Amino acid sequence: MKQFLSAHDVSDIKALVQRALEHKAAPQANKDFGAGKRIGLLFLNPSMRTRLSTQVAAQNLGMEAIVFNIGSEGWALEFEDGAIMNGTTVEHVKDAAPIMGNYFDILAIRTFPSLKNREEDYSERYIQQFVKYAGIPVVSLESATLHPLQSLTDVITITENWNKAHGPWTMDHGQKKPKVVLTWAPHVKALPQCVANSFAQWINAWGEAEFVITHPEGYELDEQFTRGATIIHNQDEALKDADFVYVKNWSSYQQYGQVLNNDPSWMLTLEKLKSTNDAKVMHCLPVRRNLELSDEVLDSSHSIVTQEAANRVWAAQAVLEAILKEGK
Ligand code: CP
């Protein structure tokens, strides 16, 4: 693997999921693989799970991980080509990224969208500038439009739970595919579309689920990610017979970055789960309780959000190992 910015960087998702589950079974079995290698984790935005899980994953491989909260502690970066830097920015990414490329073997970056300029956000300008100028493999820790480490984790978590309930995957023998439903949830703030875009991209690329997306009208995601999924605006209809329900808020893509609807009836409850196939409930976290997801669901046996967050380590470990392997 040369970089990890989206599902398109992975040639075989099922093999990567399998490798992650092997790491889970034996976390330090490959503990010298990354000896002498260093990863830089750059955060332009806050994080808990992504930061800690990637550090643990790197350490499990024997790598050194250095965290830099560049957004709050670094020089303000300029991304505009040809900018006359007489404003608030202090250092151009053209100058900063190659230096990081010398300090590290892998550069991992979190950079959220502005939610003001759709064209700019969807061009992934910030992370692409690091790819262009760093000269080393870049891993997304969540970018303007995608969150691939989260989505790989989500596929791992679905695989693990489905296998536990039904035995190892035997799709070739006509076994039922799990019904996976991505449902929009209310929120008070305008959130990026990244997690939802990325989940849709990965579930589609994985190809092992009956995939349904449900949201109020006006919350349609970019079709480049959702193509192949069934989109239903009636949440009750969408949830019927679901095996996995993935809950997430996102702001509007069409009326870019706006909150169009905060209808509390979209919050998932135990009552709504009655029509499902005793569905497992997922969320990337952090979650706003009793706004996005009710206490009764999060505290019930339906919820696998802690297992999902714990699996972030194995996703990161499989990705870092695959990138290091490419360089050997
Ligand atoms: N899910 C996730 O990315 O969590 P953090 O924002 O805490 O890293």
Q: Is the peptide bond before 286 cis (omega within 30 degrees of 0)?
A: yes
Nearest alpha carbon, ligand 1 atom 4: 49
User: Who contacts 55 (Cβ-Cβ below 8 Å, separation ≥6)?
Assistant: 41, 65, 67
Nearest alpha carbon, ligand 1 atom 1: 284
Determine the distance separating the centroid of ligand 1 and the alpha carbon of 26, expressed in angstroms: 24
Instruction: Extract the annotated binding site for N(2)-succinyl-L-ornithine.
Output: 142, 187, 248, 288
Q: Tell me, what's the pLDDT at 167?
A: 76
pLDDT above 80: residue 106: yes
Q: What is the pLDDT of residues 65-94, one digit of tens each?
A: 999 999 899 999 999 999 999 999 999 999
Q: What residue spans define the domains of the chain?
A: 7-146+312-326, 150-310
Determine the distance separating the centroid of ligand 1 and the alpha carbon of 149, expressed in angstroms: 10
- Nearest-atom number in ligand 1 for the CA of 309 is 1
Q: What is the largest CA-CA distance in the chain?
A: 64
- For residue 234, the tally of other CB atoms under 10 A from its CB is 9
Which residue from 123, 169, 217, 122 is spatially nearest to 15, judged by alpha carbons? 169
User: How far, in Å, CA of 277 to CA of 325, rounded?
Assistant: 40
Q: What is the pLDDT of residues 128-177, one digit of tens each?
A: 999 999 999 999 999 999 999 999 999 999 999 999 888 776 555 567 89
Residues facing 66 on adjacent strands = 40
- Nearest-atom number in ligand 1 for the CA of 48 is 7
- Please tell me the pTM assigned to this model: 0.97
Listed range (13-22, 171-180, 255-264) with the worst mean pLDDT: 171-180
Determine the distance separating the centroid of ligand 1 and the alpha carbon of 55, expressed in angstroms: 13
Q: What is the pLDDT of residues 218-237, one digit of tens each?
A: 999 999 999 999 999 999 99
pLDDT above 60: residue 119: yes
Topology agreement, domain 7-146+312-326 and domain 150-310: yes
At the fourth CATH level, the homologous superfamily of domain 150-310 is Aspartate/ornithine carbamoyltransferase (3.40.50.1370)
Beta strands in 32-178 (DSSP E): 38-43, 64-68, 77-78, 91-92, 106-110, 138-140
Q: Which CATH class is domain 7-146+312-326?
A: alpha beta
